[in-house]
Amino acid sequence: MHFEEHEIIDLLKYLRTAKDQTEELLTAMIDIEVYGEVDHDGMPVVNSVELQEDLKKMNEYILRIEKELKERKKP
């Protein structure tokens, strides 16, 4: 699969937005875990560990995409 440079730039923008929103969600989820809120099954509403792993992957993808864009611009 090949993406045009403008498509990669758009995808990078969307990924950054998703990362920012996930960070906000993680903060809220940690608060929920700390204060012990549960769903109807009595299980914790969220799992912040999974979100932390997702954030790590998003950061890695962002860095890789930025590196790829820089390499494409080299003569």
Measured between alpha carbons, how far is 69 from 56 in angstroms, rounded to an integer?
20
pLDDT tens by residue, 8-17: 999 999 999 9
User: Sorting pLDDT into bands at 50, 70 and 90, what band is 7?
Assistant: very high
Instruction: Work out the mean pLDDT of the chain and round it to a whole number.
Output: 84
Determine what percent of the chain is predicted with pLDDT higher than 90. 45
pLDDT tens by residue, 35-52: 776 566 666 555 778 888
- In 1-75, where does DSSP find H-type helix? 5-35, 48-73
Q: Could you tell me which residue, 40 or 32, shows the higher pLDDT? A: 32
